[in-house]
């Protein structure tokens, strides 16, 4: 099987719970667009495995559409993206006018694979969504963005180390320096749980820690870093350290800290979604020039 080949796709009903939540949260116009999104269960090829995921298509508009790859966070069966979770996330992005796609990664969520990986083969599963999107005639392959939360944000950094395909990227609650954490820290302990028994832990931690190789990130992909100051799973310092490193490198980025917000930015969803949409619309949909970096102006 060729990586990124779409093996199966079937439209699924939008969960009534998602529609009820959206009806309360969105304006009438935004809800009309959201309710017109179509959601599909997909199976695609990655590293010889059949991987499950979801594809959300926007309401009818002008083709070809820009696209967004979303990397979910979490691990284990509870972390897998459900139909409702997919509609709440990539369904929202599709309502903005994007073709949005997400993987459930190998070893979980109905995907093939002997075990779940956490910053290894799962990164291949996410990056292999690029050739899948390239093959869809209604997608503009030159306008693709990347969004990742928590573990998915860590994976997004690893993807940006490997490709310059993404017009822009957004992460929220993402770990950036697992190699500096104690073994007892939640995020490092989670990583260790998914490593093969013969792994050199510190080497594996560094491979997943963007602060150790930020100079290798795609310089043509402006990065929006979002984090809650009340995040108890991935401490806010992760975002601050990455921001300082990107500032030193004159890398195109923006860092936003939300006060009184937790790991998933609960309570600040409307605000953070506005920030995410502006970043995607500016640099992906409109393909605006990169922001200026380094000292300039008055």
Condensed to tens digits (0 to 9), the pLDDT of residues 152-167 reads 999 999 999 999 999 9
Residue 240 lies in a domain: yes
Domain membership of residue 115 as a residue range: 6-285
Calculate what percentage of the chain has a pLDDT beyond 90: 90
Residue 112 lies in a domain: yes
Calculate what percentage of the chain has a pLDDT beyond 70: 100
Global pTM value: 0.97
Residue 71 lies in a domain: yes
pLDDT at residue 76 is higher than 90: no
State how many domains the chain has. Answer: 1
- Provide the token pair at 30: 């935004």
pLDDT at residue 297 is higher than 90: no
Residue 167 lies in a domain: yes
Residue 296 lies in a domain: no
Residue 197: the pLDDT is: 85
| pLDDT tens digits, one per residue of 170-220 | 999 999 999 999 988 999 999 999 888 889 999 999 999 999 999 999 999
Residue 267: the pLDDT is: 85
Residue 226 lies in a domain: yes
The whole-number average pLDDT for the span 123-147 is: 99
Residue 298 lies in a domain: no
CATH classification of the domain holding 199 = 3.40.50.1820
Residue 292 lies in a domain: no
pLDDT at residue 147 is higher than 90: yes
């Amino acid at each position: 099987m060729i990586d990124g080949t779409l093996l199966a796709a079937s439209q699924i009903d939008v969960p009534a719970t998602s529609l009820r939540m959206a009806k309360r949260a969105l304006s009438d116009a935004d809800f009309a667009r959201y309710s017109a999104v179509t959601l599909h269960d997909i199976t695609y090829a990655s590293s010889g495995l059949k991987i499950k995921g979801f594809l959300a298509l926007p309401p009818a508009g002008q083709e070809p559409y820009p696209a967004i790859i979303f990397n979910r966070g979490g691990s284990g069966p509870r972390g897998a993206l459900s139909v409702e979770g997919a509609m709440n996330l990539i369904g929202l992005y599709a309502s903005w006018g994007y073709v949005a796609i997400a993987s459930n990664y190998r070893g979980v969520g109905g995907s093939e694979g002997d075990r779940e990986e956490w910053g290894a083969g799962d990164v291949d599963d996410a990056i292999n969504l690029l050739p899948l999107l390239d093959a869809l005639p209604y997608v503009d392959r030159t306008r693709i963005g990347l969004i990742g939360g928590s573990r998915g944000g860590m994976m997004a950094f690893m993807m940006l180390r490997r490709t310059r395909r993404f017009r822009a990227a957004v992460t929220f609650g993402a770990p950036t320096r697992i190699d500096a954490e104690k073994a007892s820290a939640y995020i490092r302990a989670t990583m260790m749980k998914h490593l093969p028994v013969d792994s050199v832990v510190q080497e594996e931690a560094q491979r997943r820690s963007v602060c150790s190789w930020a100079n290798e990130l795609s310089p043509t992909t402006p990065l929006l870093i979002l984090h809650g100051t009340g995040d108890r799973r991935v401490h806010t310092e992760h975002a601050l350290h990455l921001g300082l490193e990107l500032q030193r490198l004159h890398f195109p980025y923006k860092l936003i800290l939300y006060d009184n917000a937790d790991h998933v930015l609960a309570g600040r969803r409307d605000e953070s979604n506005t920030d995410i949409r502006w970043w995607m619309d500016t640099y992906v949909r409109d393909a605006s020039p990169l922001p200026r970096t380094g000292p300039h102006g008055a």
